[in-house]
Every structure is written in structure tokens, then in C-alpha cells.
Structure 1
Amino acid sequence: MQQIDTFLANLPPDKGAFPAIAPAVQEKYASLVPGFLLDIWKNSGICSFGNGFIWTVNPDDYTDILPKLGEQYKNAVAVLRTGLGTVFFKQGDEYLFFDPVYLDVSSLQNVPLEIIMNYTIGDKRPANELFYQKLYEKALKRLGPPAFDECFAFVPAIALGGEMNEENLQKMKLREQLILLTQLI
């Protein structure tokens, strides 16, 4: 997958058995996501990279969550997520991400997904500043990797007075964590 070579070099694919993404789901989103993401879905399904730091997702699992970030996201398509619950999604031609720490949606400036993966997610400096990669790596050593339906989450959530440090991270079910956080927006 030449389009994301830098990403794959910095965050190599993890080994393991991962849930498949049904062909009907792949077909449903084929015109909305880049071809390399479809290839990953076909070959690996919902899979992780960089010891679970980044995950592909089944967009259907987020159709009820993304609108809770704002009515304007009711047709958004989730494409990736981090091990700390950041969700990357496409709205029209723009890629955005939901930050589970600050409960904010940020734009990635109309940049193609392969550029985002190679130079934002796959580069340690922005990955740490924007997506808390160092905290993830510390929690990974203590808690072990999250499963495909889990993330590391601050307990209590930062928005509820929690502190942003590794000791406050716990494994949580991703879906439940996102539903809780969107209720705080």
C-alpha cells in the first residue's frame, strides 16, 4: 500500500485475528473512502496498527454516535480511531477528528487521508500532541493492548474533573465511552 508507506513504517500492522467488515458494508462506503482503506477492510477487516494505537473501523458502528457531535455530522463516515478513543471521520470532502479529552471536533484542513495517516498520525510529534501517543504507550505497558471494541479512557473523564495522566487511564468499551462523552458535549 504505497499510499501509506510512511504510516506503515512507523505504525506497522499488528498481528492477530480481527473482525471482518461485511462485503455489503465495504460496498456501501466504497465511493466515500479511499481505495487503500477498502483494501485494508477487505484483507484485514477491523484491524490495528502500532500496538493498537490506530484502528480501522466499521463505519456502521458510528452512524448513531457521530450525529451526537453535532447535527452537521449526521452523514459523516468514521474511518479510523485511536486506542484512546479519538475518532477520525469524513464529512463531505473533509476529514475531521473527535478529541475525547477536550470533547472537541477539529478539522484536518481538507487534506487527503493518506497524508493524514503518513504525516499526522504516523509522525510521533503530531501523534503525541494531537492524539496522546505517549500516554497511550505508557498505558499499553501497564494495561496491555485494547481489544477491537475497547479503548483506554481517563477515569474520571477529563471533562468531569479527571487528570490527564497515565495512572488515570483504564480499559473501557469504546462505544460506551463515546456515548458517555458525547452526552457531555
Structure 2
Amino acid sequence: MLENFKKHFQPGADCIPASEETIEKYKNKVPESLIEIWKTSGFGKYNDGLIEFVNPADFEDNLWTWLGREVPNYVPFAISGFGELFYYRKLTDEEEDVCMIDIQYRKIETLVWSMDDFLDDFITNVVERKMWLREDLFEEAITQNGKLEKHEVFTFAPILAFGGGEEMEYLQKGNAQVYQDLVFQMTS
């Protein structure tokens, strides 16, 4: 399990395995493949922060804000290098999917129908990474602005919906939770 993911995504030095308490809290809400990442390489930035696996507790409030309500079987698990929030939905005992909140355009996208597909097929696909994670812009931003810290992302100023552009001149660094909240307030 996860061979393709591990081949394409290297954990950063900031990665810390999840505590037993965290694993216990979410073990019945997320699939084993995600738990395996949490137990082994853990929470932190992968590929310099192209994606950051996060402790769900750190982003639940933001998820509930964007959804407009608390949904116990939805679990935020990652952020992109630009602040998009990825979350897992356990729909039934047999049905699941992975969604992304595109904060720039205030859209929720269903990306794939399982966590395993997300980890081993979706984010390991070059075309998907370039489209959903803005990989080319991310690599340019890391080269010019340096690495990101925990929960830090590249922010667009102004946000894309307000005329910003997917170009270096519009990028700054900022805290993901604050940025997600600010964009939500600005686009409400």
C-alpha cells in the first residue's frame, strides 16, 4: 500500500508521526491508508509543502466554516501549498470520497471516490498535480521565496477571485488557517 505515493512524495524534516491519541480519535473516521501515513512519516510538509498532511483538529473549525455546519464524518487531512483544504468524507460503510475546498473561487470539488485513489493515483499524476496543486507555480515560489513553515502557504494578494493572478508578483506567505478564514470572509 502507498508505494506510488511514497515514490512521488518525500516527507520533509518537519514531519512528525501522529500521537496515539490523535490516531485513536480518527481511526474510525478515516481509512487505513491515511492512518499509515500519520503513523509513519506523519503530519508535515511533503515535497517542500506542495501538500501538507495536517492534524485534522487544527483545521476542523475552518472546514465547518466553509461548509456552514459541522459534519462529524468529514475529516480535513491536508492543505495545498496555496491553502486549498482537502477533506475526506465517509459517506456510508462502503462509500467515501475526497473533496477539496477551492478557497480562491469558493468551490467544493469532489476529486476522487476513495482515499487510496487520492494517494496512489490522483496526486501522483503529473497532470492532476499541475492543475489542482499548481505545481509549476509552487516550485517557482519555493525557489524565489524559500521553504514554507508548518501551516504556512503561499497566498494570493489580491485573491484570484478579486483579480489576483497565478503569478509570482501576487504571492506572499501566510498562515493557512488565517488565510482560509480571511478568504471566506472576503468572498461571503
The bucket for the TM-score relative to the shorter chain is 0.7 to 0.9
Matched, 1:74 2:71: yes
Q: Does the CA-based 8 Å contact 2:34-2:115 persist in structure 1?
A: no
Output the CA distance in 1 between the equivalents of 2:20 and 2:131.
36
Which residues of 2 match residues 46-61 of structure 1 at below 5 A?
Answer: 46-61=43-58
Q: 2:108 maps to what in 1?
A: 105
Q: 1:114 maps to what in 2?
A: 116
Gaps of 5+ in 1: none
TM-score by length of 1: 0.88
Q: How many residues align?
A: 181
CA offset digits 1:125-177 (Å, max 9, x no partner): 11111221111111010111111220111111112321221221111111100
CA RMSD of aligned residues (A): 1.8
CA offset digits 1:31-57 (Å, max 9, x no partner): 111223222222333122222211111
Matched, 1:25 2:22: yes
SS of equivalent to 2:2: helix
- 1:91 Cα offset (Å): 2.3
* Equivalent residue for 1:147, pick from 140, 149, 152: 149
Output the CA distance in 2 between the equivalents of 1:17 and 1:63.
21
Q: For the structure 1 residues 10 and 180, does the alpha-carbon distance in structure 2 shift closer, same or farther, using more than 3 Å as the test?
A: same
Q: 2:159 maps to what in 1?
A: 157
Gaps of 5+ in 2: 91-95
Output the CA distance in 2 between the equivalents of 1:70 and 1:94.
16
TM-score by length of 2: 0.87
Q: 1:35 maps to what in 2?
A: 32
